[in-house]
Amino acid sequence: MKESTDSKPLIRKMGTIDCDMVETTPIVFRDRLYRFEYVRANYKPNQTGASYFRFVDVDSGQATPAFAADYHLGSAHVQDDTVYVYGVNAWGGSELRVFWSDDLKTWESQTALNLPGWEIFNNSVCQGEGRYVMSFEIGAPPEETGARFTMRFAESDDLLHWQLTPSECVFAKDRYTACPVLRFLDGQYYMIYLEARPGPTYVPHIVRSRDLVHWESSPLNPIMQYSEEDRIIANPDLSESQRALIAGAVNSNNSDVDLCEFGGKTILYYSWGNQLGVEFLAYAVYDGTLERFLRGYFPE
């Protein structure tokens, strides 16, 4: 379907694939589509008693061995033949750790950022112009955060060692802004984030910036809106009790969006539910490249 120049990119919601799963990142590694998952301790199939990270081969459904026990709110980035994963040592912890692997089985790790007194949550990494850039959500300290929550930024030459950018590189201290996903295109950083609305309800918006200081908001926001399409059953293995939960759940939220390009299409994963603990993982598709998707929110 061809979009008009004054309409937003058409996202086709495909439906729910899991319950109690929120933070995920789709990646392409060695020509296969994987879904990075942050498996929370309360995820019902998790019998370990601790949170951990893993990858799922989307085509086969097979999961890789678990790693990063007791780390949280992760994201994934692929560079050449290496996968990098970033996670925080606690919800609102002060240490961001990087894990890396060339086979999704054996992982090395080290501290990426250590910021005593800071509260760190979700994060996202992309390759920018001459550097790598990380966006990460914070809840403290107050002078850096303003209204909770807020995005700060860090930069790296090698995806392992990171430094904070100046405090003026921020989005946005005047209101709730959370759940970043960062990409770089045409000399600009495009960021999808979560905007809170009265209700409360939550919807993802997109902004862009050349300097991480001055931000332009898309005139076509929000990129998605919670809807009955979220309840479509996209995983035939969901149990009857899971399907009943999906059918009856309060839905006031599309959050934790992450995306990648695969097979000429843009694959999006997102969470829906009530933002209070009853949450579901769903996916959607845009029938075009990631470049076209991002540019489509900023019509000339």
Look up the CATH number of the domain holding residue 177: 2.120.10.10
Q: What's the pLDDT at 6?
A: 60
* Mean pLDDT estimate for the chain: 96
Give the domain extent around 41. 23-224+290-296
Q: Is residue 262 included in any domain, yes or no? A: no
Q: Is residue 149 included in any domain, yes or no? A: yes
Q: What's the pLDDT at 282?
A: 98
Would you say residue 30 has pLDDT above 50?
yes
pLDDT in tens, 140-176: 999 999 999 999 999 999 999 999 999 999 999 999 9
Q: Is residue 172 included in any domain, yes or no? A: yes
Would you say residue 267 has pLDDT above 80?
yes
Q: What's the pLDDT at 300?
A: 84
Q: What's the pLDDT at 5?
A: 45
Would you say residue 4 has pLDDT above 60?
no
Q: Domain count for the chain, please give it.
A: 1
Q: Is residue 266 included in any domain, yes or no? A: no
Would you say residue 57 has pLDDT above 90?
yes
Work out the average pLDDT over 55-84.
98
Q: Is residue 65 included in any domain, yes or no? A: yes
Quote the pTM value: 0.96
Q: Is residue 116 included in any domain, yes or no? A: yes
The span from the CA of 48 to the CA of 36, in Å, is 18
Would you say residue 94 has pLDDT above 50?
yes
Q: What's the pLDDT at 1?
A: 40
pLDDT in tens, 180-197: 999 999 999 999 999 999
| Encoded tokens for 20 | 């109690």
pLDDT in tens, 249-266: 999 999 999 999 999 999
Q: Is residue 205 included in any domain, yes or no? A: yes
User: Nearest to residue 215, comparing CAs of 253, 255, 174?
Assistant: 174
Q: Is residue 248 included in any domain, yes or no? A: no
